[in-house]
Structure 1
Amino acid sequence: MKASRTPLNVAPQSSFRHADGKLVLIAGPCSAESEEQMLKTAQQLQNIKGVSVFRAGIWKSRTRPDSFKGVGLVGLQWLSMVKQETGLRTACEVANAQHVEEALKHGVDILTVSGRATVNPFAMEEIAAVLKGTSTPVLVNNPVYPNLNLWIGALERLQYADLTDIGVINRGFSTDEQSPYRNHPRWDHMLQLKELYPQLPVLCDAAHIAGRRSLLYPVSQKAVDLGADGLLFESHMNPAAALSSPQQQLLPQELDLLINAVVSNVKLGGTTELVEQLDELSQQIGSLDDALLELLLRRTEVSRRMSERQMGSLQSSLQTTQRWQKQMDEWLQQADPAAVDKGLVMSVLSAIQQQSTQSGGMGASAVA
């Protein structure tokens, strides 16, 4: 989708873009779980060259109410302890005005706005109102589904609150075709935002896009190749015991190796090529979906017009149904079982058949 250009006043001395071109690196556990976990993880991350910000999830926005929702306020106390003990700047995600108030009260250095808040103009206005008058650096996660105007609208609301040390995070989007990612990167959205606002720092949350360790390197390298100013990673002193997202968290030692590979632009066994191939196939699926939708809409309109003119009869409808079923059976018998999702095909064709029968049957005969 095309988004209109609107002015953004971004601070030239940004917290999210190094003047020497080096990557801004932010790392920490998906969730704050205990004082020991936070401090030990931070102490190990402190020794990784380039990591300057320690992040941890304090409040977790969960779809299901019985899921782990984070430790809450005590986690902010642990963040303060990490800052005092290691000297690392701290960051956490916020989703409402109360989160912002508590984070500021506990001296959190950087706030990242939840993707669920980004899509909510009311939440963004309340967050901006609390931040007005401060110089707090803020990163805005992309909205949970692909909508560039929502992303820009969230930035504009922060701008109206006179915040200039701002940037964005591409953490991936919820789409119909996400595999093999946890969240589809939609690099096109990130590039369009960079084109509209070249002064705006753009970071990539490799962990939430990848969703698993095996994709962390290719996703990170792709983001850097496309001009990302920084990367966010999830790292835990014991990922296997993590209370959330263990499959996408790395030991600090593993993260050190990954960062060195990205900075050195090491090509690891064709993984970069794999991601490029996956992105290309995903774009092909999107184009095919658009074409299929257009055909279905055109077919529905023709069927509706035929029905309005009372073309067809019950007898012709029954005959068409039988012919349709025969052709469907023959096609499925000829199709390669390994290459065709028969359940999907049957569901789509059955729905079309049912719609045709209800409209008099002549629509089905047109394509049978």
Structure 2
Amino acid sequence: MEDLQPIIFKGIDPDRPLVIAGPCSAETEEQVLSTAAELAANGIKIFRAGIWKPRTKPGGFEGVGAPGLEWLKKVKETTGMYTATEVATRQHVNDALAAGVDLLWIGARTSANPFAMQEIADTLQESGRTDVAVLVKNPVNPDLELWIGALQRIYNAGIRRLGAIHRGFSTYGKHLYRNMPQWHIPTELRLRFPSLPIIVDPSHIGGKRELIAPLSQQSLDMGFNGLIIESHCDPDKAWSDASQQVTPEILNFILNTLVVRDSRQSTENLTLLRQQIDQIDNDLLETLAKRMRVSREIGQYKKEHRMPVVQANRYNDIIRTRVTLGQEMGMDENFMRTILLAIHDESVRQQIEVLNDRAR
């Protein structure tokens, strides 16, 4: 993928991060046009809306379908905005191109399926519309090679206005993020393909509207090329993913407070170092949460086998070996003892909680 072209639209400053915004789903014509008008008034140039919505289980709202494309046409007519939507099948591609959609993106479930990706690639090639811009989201699972393969299929179809969307990776259990960022994966993608634009989706990574601003800033600080953010005229009443959408007004505030770094700077500044600390702290919290889940499983085992919660020999061995390891890594003995004691106390509390739950 050596001859990629920049994803540039007339009237959009190519030296600024690309911003794509709009509701998770196109719900009604009024909702689409109202949201688009507010976003346009705040300077957004590319309007996104899901016409077809892949859902985890049947019975949920799966999008309004092709009729919603007429609403996107009206967005272009009334606001002058460019339009973008997700496609997952041959029919989706053909319908979206016929409706004049300017940018297509391919979702995480679809990018994980080589057969579906090849069908979309073949359809694009057969349509003769290789000038359309296409963004490919990372697969749901953290597989860089699968992501690259999806991108290469679209590239092989003749698409040169090609980019990637980093929307985080699914994982089991409760976490701070809806989808774990795992920033090293899109960073590796950028290292392999320096000319490939990478857009970050803080709405799907965070899953909560209060995480959109910090994730957006982190994305720009790491040098990624833009943002795709879900914005709805009345987010609390959204038919899908209400908790991760913001009003156009709030989006405007977020964008105006973001600091766009000079990409020509080669030295790492204090802000980037603090971003690394933030990420490490999040990783520590994830690791501690995993440890406590194991502690609860140990508590259940001890309950079933009538074993005491606290076992002094095991505790002393943990303290001795971990303190020594910590000192070898340059950490103070007292600091290590304080940290390990706090972790042990919380593990005991978790185990006792399991015993009490079973006793009720």
Which residue of structure 1 lines up, in the alignment, with residue 64 of structure 2?
71
Tell me the residue number matched to 2:268: none
Measure the CA separation in 2 of the matches of 1:175 and 1:233: 22
Q: Does 1:329 align with 2:338?
A: no
Indicate the residue corresponding to 2:30 in structure 1.
36
Instruction: Give 1:177 deviation, angstroms.
Output: 6.2
1:243-322 equivalences under 5 Å are 243-263=239-259, 276-277=276-277, 279-284=279-284
Task: Tell me the equivalent position of 2:191.
Answer: 195
- 2:96 match: 103
Secondary structure of the corresponding residue to residue 84 of structure 2: strand
Gaps of 5+ in 2: 262-270, 292-300, 316-343, 356-360
Contact 1:15 1:137 in 2 (8 A): no
Q: Alpha-carbon deviation of 1:159?
A: 1.3
* Cα distance change, pair 339–99 in 1 and its aligned pair in 2 (3 A): farther
Output one character per residue of 1:298-330: Cα deviation in whole Å (capped at 9) or x when no partner: xxxxxxxxxxxxxxxxxxxxxxx99x9466633
The yes-or-no answer on 1:230 pairing with 2:226 is: yes
In structure 2, the residue matched to 1:59 is 52
Count of residues paired in the alignment: 303
- Bigger CA drift: 62-71 or 255-264? 255-264
Which residue identity does 2:209 align to in structure 1? R
Q: Is the 8 A contact 2:309 2:348 kept in 1?
A: no
Q: Displacement, 1:75?
A: 1.1
Shift of 1:115: 0.8
SS of 1:336 mapped into structure 2: helix
The answer to whether the Cα contact below 8 Å between 1:218 and 1:275 also exists between their aligned partners in 2 is no
Cα distance in 2 between the residues matched to 1:244 and 1:343: 39
Pairwise CA RMSD? 3.3
The residue that corresponds to 2:332 in the other structure is none
Question: What is the percent sequence identity of the aligned residues?
Answer: 41
Q: Give the SS at the match of 1:54.
A: strand
Deviation at 1:175, TM superposition (A): 2.0
Written as runs of structure 1 = structure 2, the 5 A alignment for 1:166-205 is 166-176=162-172, 179-205=175-201
What residue number does 1:155 align with? 151
Secondary structure of the 2:258 match is helix
For normalisation by structure 2, the TM-score amounts to: 0.75
Residue from 42, 48, 58 that aligns with 2:42 = 48
CA shift digits 1:62-102 (9 cap, x unpaired):
11101111111111111111111111000001112221111
**Cα shift at 1:284:** 4.6
Q: Pick the structure with greater CA Rg.
A: 1
Partner of 2:107: 114
TM-score between both structures, scaled by the size of structure 1: 0.74
Measure the CA separation in 2 of the matches of 1:62 and 1:272. 36
2:83 pairs with 1:90 = yes
Matched residue type, 2:217? Q
Whichever residue aligns with residue 128 of structure 1, its letter is A
Cα deviation for residue 105 of structure 1 reads: 1.4
Q: 1:339, CA displacement in angstroms?
A: 6.9
3-state SS of paired residue (1:102): helix
